[in-house]
Structure 1
Amino acid sequence: MNNLGTALLNRFERRGNLANIDRAISVEEDAVRLTPHDHPDKPRYLSSLGTALLTRFERLGNLADIDRAISVEEDAARLPPHDHPDKPRYLNNVGTALLNRFERLGNLADIDRAILVREDAVRLAPHDHPDKPRYLNNLGTVLLTRFKRLGNLADIDRAISVEEDAVRLIPHDHPDKPTCLSNLGSSLFTRFKHLHDVASLNNAILAFSAAARSSAGPSSVRLRAALQWIRCAHLIPSESLLNAYALAIDLIPQAAWLGLPLQDRHRELLVRAADVVRDAAADALARGYYNTAVERLELSRSVVWSQLLQLRTPLDELQSRDSTLANRLRQVSYELEQGSGNDMIRIEMKNDIKLSLEEQVGRYYGLAMERETILSEVRCLPGLERFLLPKTVSQLAPSAHSGPVVILNASQYGCDALVLLAESDDVLHVPLADITYDQVQKLQESLNQLLSENGRVLSPMDRAIEFSPINRSPDESFKLILSVLWKKVVRPVLDALALSTPNAGELSRVFWCPTGPFSFLPIHAAGLYDDADTGPKLSDFVISSYTPTLSALALPSHEGTTANTMCLAVVPQPASDGLTRLPGAQIEIGHIKTMLQSSPSTPVSLVESIGTVDDVLTKMKESDWIHIACHGVQNAHSPLDSGIVLAGGRHLMLRDVIKLARRRGGLAFLSACQTATGNEDLPKEAVNLATGMLLAGYGGVVSTMWSIKDSDAPEVVKSVYEQLFQDGNLPDYRQAAKALHYAVKRLREEHNVPFVSWASFVHIGL
């Protein structure tokens, strides 16, 4: 029964299903109850129950769980005699539970007692005990915690001392070595912040760098160490900063793609990694390494952005090419990430045979070597030569085949534009010297406030919303935001591209790839909108599209349609969803039908969905284009649950869309609110349904950055489709950006709608 509980706990930690942890606790309670008090395995069963209760507390925060975890761990520690080999482990577990409760409630008695029991664990463990370094390291952790609360220098000095002992005792290639080094670095850095002792800071850098460079240990631990190393190296002149950034960049794919559950701590790590990648790009730019900056930013967008959403990983392509290699790599990587000496569950499942320090090192070294062997085999496959390595600029340059691609980097160390041109492997660097990261953030915050005041963000789900009366004109606020974007962001880029005068003829395309807070600003609408509306505007110079990554602009290997006809699926708002009706949705569909009927020679067949989730997914898979005119919803707390409201109030969610396996190409027209909106939980990444459509295989997407007015959408839809279908031939989805450009221009100029109405419409992709 105890073993069953352990297996259930393992599955919970892998998949996060609460039913598993609840059942694990239940069967472990039965194991404890059925075991006599004097049975030699009673302490182990109690400890297993305590571990499961603590795990559930960490997930749900129920105080009853942590109180009971402490109680059963104390029972486990009391039962064995002092010379029992497992006594130190049980005492250490008591300390872990007490530390968790202290961090939740702040009761000093808990942290004092945690220190006492962990001191006992260290004292009782023989010098050659395989877990001695871990007990020393854990004692240092609680001493550091108490120092942060009380500021007693004796605590931080002792924490450093015992953590140095842990580092000395643990072998070089042991999987726990990076953790011990990182904890030592944290204590040294804390001492520096308290005393401004430069020697402590230098030693912290040495500890963090050694942890990050380690050949052993989970990649997530080493990435955290690299991030701390960067933080420290910025505080003093340090030649190690360039190496720290480079190592962090190398570790991101390893920490991100391994197929592990994206628990909160892992997700948070990747958000911080995205910040650091932008800082790394700024550092590379300051050194004149423009290509390096682009490669780092693309890595951030293609790995971090995808993994935050649990989207496609590099393993998907390998799986389709060689499933045996993919499965081997997945399993070995998982064991490397989870198989540290801290994993008591793994040790217990090895028939209670404790591995010595040397045996643990040998096992981990074997796994690491096997992973390198597998990676070497993978990189021998055609097209996978740089598997889990950043793409080079020469590989990324073809992304600019339809027009310049402008990456907007926002870092606390500077804002810059990086331009890729199809005819050149050289990156054009445009410093955005007149705007700072804080100013970009303030622009984003101002826009959010403006939209909220106008009812455009307050409601999580709407398309037919009416404007709320306010005391000031929102257009004036929009003018200010768009003028700042024009003067400080867009105009410098246009000047660098020699686009200084409006083009009276055919406009060229520009693809914007914004990062950080730039991701939530309407770059496409930048301009000077004076009272006479005669000021320069970006739309006078170019047709703007967005892209989440450079790789997303790669040309498909084949067209979305293989015949001389195409199928367009339309999804009008279903009648049974219980929400406000959208008269405009039916008008949109009517425009499309009328247009096709008036041109019977156009080789397009129209199919209409019944509006259920299953039917819409089927239509998406079977049709070439799709037009959705429904209520949209952006889930502020779970990006994967954002999507479209369909029949019966059910949602077509981002998590459903990204599972589609459809042929590449075609247009997705999302005439719904907030389908290109950002997410408050991931404030530095644009996570939405529109970019998910690209991952599902669509070549281009028309979408909205915020809520739209129901009467505006039909005007835009009519104009876009008239342009796309005007010659009676098979339409090209790659002309959608141009069609949207002129449709929005007409809406703004002829219908005189406010900024909040027309600036929401955007094009993403090719």
Structure 2
Amino acid sequence: MEVRVYSESQEQSIPLSSQPEYKSQQTQGTSKSHYRRTTEVLEPMEITRLRQELLKTAIQNHPDQVNFLDSLESRLLDLYEQARAAEEFNKAIEVAKTAEVAFNGYHSRRCPWLSRLGDELGNRYQRSGSVDDLDRAVESAEEAIKFTIDFSPEYPGLLNTLVSRLRNRYNYTHSIADLHRAIDKMIATVQRTSRKNPDRDFYLISLADLLGTRFDRTRSKIDIVTAIRHARKVMKNTLPDHNDRAKRLSILGTLLLSRYEFTGSKADLDCAIKHACSSAEIAISEQAEYPAILGNFAGCLFRRYLHKGSLEDLSQAIEVLKTAVVNISPSDPWYPMLLYNFGLYHVERFKNTNANQDLDDSIALYKQGLNCVDIPPSIRVRLAHEAAEAFAADKRWKEASNILDDAVALLPSISTRLLGDLDKQMALADATGLATFAAAAALNAEKCAGHALELLELGRGVIASDILDTRTSIMGLEQEYPELASELESLRDELDSPPPIRVLAVEWETKAKERRELHRQFRSTCDKIRTLPGFKTFLLPPNLSELKAAASSGPIVVINTNKYRCDAFLVREDGVQVLHLQNLRHTDFEELGLMRERGEGPVDKIPRLCWAS
């Protein structure tokens, strides 16, 4: 999970020539007489008053409407800039909303405000982690593009803003549909930018970075080859004193590193380290991308350590990341990711040197990452998993178990109904792996067997409840509450239906918004059903009492395999007994899975579980 210099971090450095010239269409002689400069902070009541005043004037066809609109836009711009300067995102958003509503029907005025609204929603998302803000930022960017003439000077900049928002959402949800769309829009951005335009290289390196990200997911050879070709082309056009040279070198280095991991080419590894090192040497700490550039360099060194086994490379990677962490704000969205890598490197050095300081440092770093506010649950879960691994390496099972208990509790906040099939499978695998570790750690910490089994069922059931068929549960609901059952079944069918193969560009975000709304309705309906008598755990994994009740017709056996231990849980009506399977190894099951994937046999030589009551 190496930190890369992503395109959204470059957005702040787009040359002015690429930014839309959002100028007020005021006439110099008349508008100023209608506009009084103010330093007052915008209040909600004033926003409402301005909106009402404009709409009233528009309805009455005010004879001085043009000058009035000019004056109003000037005032809104002033209030907007005040809010931005104070980093009061809520107020900036309210101003932009007011302007967007006020100038509805005046596309040349409204589009810039849609863009500003998307920017501020994106800024607030970075601080609060609100996915709703992120969705609305994407919608605003889409709306601004829809009302802008294709091939106009500002069109590529608006496309780039949309790409940045889609990338942000991909980073949060890992939905590859957003990544595909971001790439399509960035290709369109490059195509609509003249070869003589200096901004074209900016867009091209962003496209290369996006293709590299998709390669990391899909392992599509054409993506990584195209990405490296684009990046090398950009570097040929980048002068030694160019402000973005360090950033672009870093991206090229990470792309070459990705190809090395795919092909094993030592030449790619050497070139990756060369470019990453050069990038780190010329980067300055004042650059917004400085920590990520150092993170990329550390990642290259770590890969060479894995290739050659040189502890010198590993120690250098740790020192580089130490500098990166010092130079990044804890509110930066990539801060927990840097801490994740930093802890990982310390654990690796501990494995080689048995230095307890490295283990303690790794645990402290993971805890520091877990204390970050408003980070995606998926990232928090991964940090917790690695922290528990560090505790396990030191046989501190109670601490490992406690942190895994908290991580498993986060799983209900990770939903997969909005993801594609491949994304769902990845989410299910991650959740199951966490649950098996949590159950094993609980037993090693001498917690009761019932608690370990509940953790196992929670982890395996929460994500699966979004993926697996709900028909069985709905059948029971139909008997007592047929109307609710019908409503839920309709929502389920709409959510589970495959997306259309071809969707017009202007309809894409609308369709995505509709699916998000369906998902919210589905969860709301499930919550409503759980308030009804007898349906408290509707579509939720079974708790311990339910598992014991299910064993009324005979014992239930649940097998848990983990690299630390393998166990059989024997569930009876009177309780849960755990049988430690000392002669069973987790690798036995892994080998069985590989043999089945390859269609090899015979598989009957694999150890079996024999149960006799």
Q: TM-score range by the shorter chain?
A: 0.5 to 0.7
- Asked if 1:234 is matched to 2:392, the reply is yes
Q: 1:44 to 1:445 in 2, by over 3 A?
A: closer
Shift of 1:282: 3.2
Helix, strand or coil at the partner of 2:320: helix
Distance in structure 1 (CA, Å) of the matches to 2:400 and 2:359: 14
Give the one of 197, 214, 219 matched to 2:377: 219
Alignment correspondent of 2:44:
none
> Is the 2:530–2:538 Cα contact (8 Å) retained in structure 1?
no
In the alignment, is residue 413 of structure 1 matched against residue 565 of structure 2?
yes
Question: What does the per-residue CA deviation read over 1:630-675, in whole Å, with 9 as the maximum and x for residues that have no partner?
Answer: xxxxxxxxxxxxxxxxxxxxxxxxxxxxxxxxxxxxxxxxxxxxxx
- SS of the aligned residue for 1:260 comes to coil
- Map 1:44-63; keep pairs closer than 5 Å: 44-55=202-213, 57-58=215-216, 61-63=219-221
Distance in 2 between residues matched to 1:221 and 1:298, nearest whole Å: 22
Matches of 2:319 and 2:542, distance apart in 1: 43
Structure with bigger strand share is: 1
1:303 paired with 2:462, answer: yes
Cα distance, 1:126–1:149 mapped onto 2, change above 3 Å: same
> 8 Å contact 2:256–2:272 — kept in the other structure?
yes
- Identify the residue that residue 436 of structure 1 maps to in structure 2: 584
Q: Separation in 2 of the partners of 1:125 and 1:445? A: 47
Pick closer, same or farther for the CA change 1:415–1:48 going to 2, 3 Å: same
- What letter matches 2:410 in structure 1? L
Aligned with 2:209: secondary structure? helix
Structure 1 position 382 matched with structure 2 position 541: no
Count of residue pairs brought into register by the alignment: 408
2:294 is the counterpart of 1:136? yes
Query: Equivalents in 2 of 1:110, 1:153: separation in Å?
Result: 21
1:208 to 362, 366, 374: 366
Quote the sequence identity (%): 27
Q: CA 1:293 to 1:90, structure 2 compared with 1: closer, same or farther past 3 Å?
A: same
Q: Distance in 1 between matches of 2:277 and 2:412?
A: 38
Equivalent residue for 2:544, pick from 393, 396, 414: 393
Q: Does 1:252 align with 2:404?
A: no
How many angstroms apart in 1 are the aligned matches of 2:209 and 2:243? 19
In structure 2, what residue type is equivalent to 1:251? L
State how 1:611-630 maps to structure 2 within 5 Å: none
The structural deviation recorded for 1:145 is 0.9
* 2-structure distance, mates of 1:433, 1:184: 35
Among candidates 345, 351, 376, match of residue 187 of structure 1: 345
C-alpha separation in 2, matches of 1:443 and 1:29: 43
Distance 2:325 2:539 in 1: 31
- Once the two structures are superposed, the pairs formed by residues 325-404 of structure 1 within 5 Å of their partners are 382=531, 392-394=543-545, 397-400=548-551, 404=555
What letter matches 1:151 in structure 2?
A: G
Q: CA deviation at 1:160?
A: 0.4
The answer to whether the aligner puts 1:196 opposite 2:364 as a matched pair is no
Tell me, in whole angstroms, the C-alpha distance in 2 between the residues paired with 1:189 and 1:45: 38
Instruction: Work out the CA distance in 1 between the residues paired with 2:161 and 2:248.
Output: 17
Which consecutive unaligned segments of at least 5 residues does structure 1 have?
A: 331-370, 458-473, 495-766
Distance 1:30 1:207, change over 3 A: closer
Matched position secondary structure for 2:577: strand
Q: Is this contact kept in 2: 1:209–1:244, CA < 8 A? A: no
Report deviation, 1:299. Answer: 0.8
Change in CA separation of 1:407 and 1:80 when aligned onto 2, cut-off 3 Å: same
Alpha-carbon distance in structure 1 between the residues aligned to 2:569 and 2:358: 37
In structure 1, distance between residues paired with 2:196 and 2:558: 68
Distance in 2 (CA, whole Å) between partners of 1:35 and 1:446 is 48
Q: Secondary structure at the match of 1:298?
A: helix
Q: Match for 1:382: what amino acid? A: T
Contact 2:215 2:221 in 1 (8 A): yes
Indicate how the Cα distance of structure 1 residues 127 and 292 shifts in structure 2: closer, same or farther if over 3 A, else same: same
* CA distance in structure 1 between the partners assigned to 2:546 and 2:585 by the alignment: 29
The amino acid across from 1:46 in the alignment is L
Query: Is the contact made by 1:42 and 1:76 (CA closer than 8 Å) also made in structure 2?
Result: no
**Do the aligned partners of residues 168 and 263 (structure 1) sit closer, same or farther apart at CA in structure 2, a change above 3 Å counting?**
farther
C-alpha contact 2:416 2:427 (8 A) present in aligned 1: no
From 450, 455, 466, the equivalent of 1:291 is 450
Does the 8 Å contact 1:379/1:387 carry over to 2?
no
Counterpart secondary structure, 1:114: helix
* Distance in structure 2 (CA, Å) of the matches to 1:42 and 1:418: 64
SS of match in other structure, 1:234: helix
Per-residue Cα deviation, 1:732-753 (whole angstroms, up to 9, x for no partner) = xxxxxxxxxxxxxxxxxxxxxx
Aligned amino acid, residue 431 of structure 1: L
Q: CA RMSD in A?
A: 4.9
Instruction: Report the TM-score, using the length of structure 1 for normalisation.
Output: 0.44
Letter paired with 1:40: P
CA deviation string 1:61-95 (max 9, x = no partner): 45454233122223334545566554443232212
Letter in 2 for 1:180: L
Aligned match for 2:248, one of 72, 83, 90: 90
Question: CA 1:140/1:84 → structure 2, altered by over 3 Å: closer, same or farther?
Answer: same
The higher radius of gyration belongs to 1
Please show how residues 569-608 of structure 1 align to structure 2 within 5 Å: none
Contact 1:174 / 1:216 at 8 angstroms: preserved in 2? no
Closer, same or farther: CA 415–43 of 1 in aligned 2, 3 Å: same
State the shift of 1:186 in Å: 1.6
1:113 and 1:17 mapped to 2: Cα distance? 32
Q: 1:485 to 1:105 in 2, by over 3 A?
A: closer
Q: Displacement, 1:50?
A: 1.7
Question: TM-score normalized by structure 2?
Answer: 0.54
**Structure 2 counterpart of 1:197, which letter?**
A
The range that moved more, 86-95 or 433-442, is 433-442
| More displaced 10-residue stretch of structure 1: 197-206 or 255-264 | 255-264
Residue by residue over 1:221-264, the C-alpha shift from the partner in whole angstroms, topping out at 9 and shown as x without a partner, is 22222222233322223252122321331233334547334546
Could you say which structure has the higher helix fraction? 2
Deviations 1:132-164, CA, capped at 9 Å, x for gaps: 222222221111111111233332112101212
Distance in 1, matches of 2:587 and 2:345, equals: 34
- CA separation in 1, counterparts of 2:206 and 2:199? 11
Query: 1:204–1:232: 8 Å Cα contact kept in structure 2?
Result: yes
Q: CA separation in 2, counterparts of 1:66 and 1:104? A: 10
What SS does the corresponding residue of 1:162 show, helix, strand or coil? helix
- AA at the equivalent of 1:94: L
Q: 1:219 to 1:310 in 2, by over 3 A?
A: farther
Q: 1:89 to 1:273 in 2, by over 3 A?
A: same
How far apart, CA to CA, are the structure 2 residues paired with 1:38 and 1:442? Answer: 55
Give me the whole-angstrom Cα distance separating, in 1, the residues matched to 2:300 and 2:600: 44
Q: Label 1:254 to 1:30 Cα distance change in 2 as closer, same or farther (>3 A).
A: closer
Of 29-38 and 176-185, deviating more is: 29-38
In structure 2, C-alpha distance between the alignment counterparts of 1:27 and 1:172, rounded to whole Å: 31
CA distance in 2, matches of 1:195, 1:390: 43
C-alpha spacing 1:216/1:47, structure 2 compared with 1 (3 Å):
same
For 2:234, the aligned partner's letter is: A
385 and 86 in structure 1: CA distance in 2 versus 1, 3 angstrom threshold: farther
Return the offset for 1:180.
0.6
